[in-house]
Amino acid sequence: MIHTPSLHHLEKDQLLQDFSALVDRDRRDTATMLAYVAEIDRRKLYLEHACPSMFAFCTKRFRMSEAIAAKRIRAGRAACRFPSILRMIGRGELHLSGVHQLAGHLTEDNHEEVLRRAKHKSMREIERLVAEISPKPDVPFSIRALPARQVQSATAAEESGSLEIEGKENLPAGTRPEEATPSRVCSPAARTAKPKSLATPLSPRRYKLQVTIGQEARDKLAELQELLSHQIPDGDAAAVIERALDALLAETKKKKAAVTNKPQATRKTNSKKTRMIPARVRREVFKRDEGRCAFVDAEGRRCSSAWQVEFHHRMPYARGGTHDMDNIELRCRAHNQYEAELEYGARFMATRRHSA
């Protein structure tokens, strides 16, 4: 039996130090795992264990998930061709998902340059790299009604009239069926979290966007296509959506950060103190911080998240902090709440959030 020790007694520094060591070891173990997978696959040792393929060997004999098995097999085969992959994974310069994504696009001629460019890149950045290496044509616009069972209950689906704007995407050429990652089903709970990017790179600066919309949104899109038919005669939905995004982005920036091409002259402020940060300050801070969280850790690393950014008083407003630009910075909600807990205590903030 495997006993997992309780970590509650560990001090913060020790916990982080141990975690760093575990990450380093996991990277080395992953590289070693891929080397073993590749060699067992090369020798076809799975056959003597009554498995017809390496995929079956991993999933049935060792109970790996289909997705993990597919990634390890594909990455192992790529590492067998290009051993530098193992060294990069062991050093933490490349992750397993990235190798899985790149594997079908590496050749004797390009692998050194592609792997160099993939070093320390996120999955989204690697997807853009793949789109540059192997561009795909734009997908045709289409709208289809979704079966009720794929959206929600049959009754709710009929009431909402949900539709999906989509473009079909096939597996990359040369991908074996056993290496295909199963599609994911998004649960209602998952839809409340930060959404993953639905824009898939097809070629440089070209993306496939796939979303599900209701009947009302579909009707609005059709009405916009009609109203813009002089400017966009072919009714291209991508052009209409881009126009709509431009308008919504400008409106949202104006509301959130007072960003406008025609700022009003600074008005005389009321002598009464208020929590409202002046528009000029919000505008300049948003521009200075580039619309991203400006939290910096002890080692000088910046958060830079643009998700749920809020205006933050370095010297808290409740403790006499002013609305001067030097005292206002952007924070993502997580770091804004983190610094509030440091200032006022976790219990106090939890009570405030609960009452709010």
Mean pLDDT, the chain, rounded, equals: 85
What six digits make up the tokens of 81? 């061709």
**Nearest Cα to 259, choosing from 282, 234, 275, 242?**
282
pLDDT in tens, 200-239: 899 998 999 888 889 899 999 999 999 999 999 999 999 9
Q: Band the pLDDT of 25: cuts 50, 70, 90.
A: very high
pLDDT of 144 reads 80
Query: Which H or E run contains 13?
Result: helix 12-43
The answer to whether residues 212 and 163 touch, using CB atoms and an 8 Å cutoff, is yes
pTM: 0.67
Indicate the pLDDT class of residue 157, thresholds 50, 70 and 90. Answer: very low
- What confidence score (pLDDT) does residue 175 get? 42
Torsion of CA 142, 148, 152, 153, to 10 degrees: 170
pLDDT in tens, 88-146: 999 999 999 999 999 999 999 999 999 999 999 999 999 999 999 999 998 888 878 77
Cα torsion through 34, 35, 37, 40, rounded to 10: 180
Beta-carbon contacts of 192 under 8 Å, excluding residues fewer than 6 positions away, are none
Confidence of residue 169 (pLDDT cuts 50, 70, 90): very low
Across residues 331-355, what is the average pLDDT?
90
pLDDT at 139: 84
Could you give the percent of the chain with pLDDT greater than 70?
A: 82
Q: CA angle, corner 216, sides to 212 and 222, nearest 5?
A: 90
Task: Give residue 176's pLDDT band: very low, low, confident or very high (50, 70, 90).
Answer: very low
- Within a 10 A sphere around the Cβ of 258, how many other Cβ atoms? 19
Contacts of 13 (CB under 8 A, 6+ apart): none
151, pLDDT greater than 60:
no
CA max distance for the chain:
85
